[in-house]
Amino acid sequence: MLRHHIGVVPQEDLIHRQLTARQALRYAAELRFPADVAPGDRLARVEATIAELGLIEHADTVVDRLSGGQRKRTSVAMELLTQPSLLFLDEPTSGLDPGLDKSVMTTLRELATGERTVVVITHSVANLGVCDNVLVLAPGGLVLRST
């Protein structure tokens, strides 16, 4: 099915804030993986995703105590559990300070490799240099395309 190939990260982080990042990812894996996926395979995918997003040292921190950037990476990790080939993110750096903005955008750039396409919807132009393609849209359609 197509929905298994698409991940969507909304602007607001939809994570259980009382759980640790690892617990939240395990819970998401339980909900999203087919029943025939072995528990060990689920846990392995959770740990691989934690490593891929650079969350190893924060995996056992309660989500409510994570920084904005770490919380956003945890939200992205929840979508990456199913290894989507297309990932949409709505305002992933909204509310982050400039340093965290750059860190999140750099992480997203690293994710956009090989078989994965990452689409970022943003009003922030500060770190668009990490993007392969930039489209500027306005009412009526395309205003600018930069590659």
Domains assigned to the chain: 2-146 (3.40.50.300)
List, in order, residues 6 or more apart from 116 with CB less than 8 Å away. 84, 85, 86, 87
Q: For the whole model, what pTM was predicted? A: 0.86
Tens-digit pLDDT profile for residues 79-98: 999 999 999 999 988 888 88
CA dihedral 20, 99, 131, 122 (to 10 degrees): 80
Q: Residues 87-127: pLDDT tens digits?
A: 999 998 888 888 888 888 888 898 898 789 999 998 888 88
- For the chain, how long is the longest CA-to-CA vector? 50
H or E, element range at 46: helix 39-52
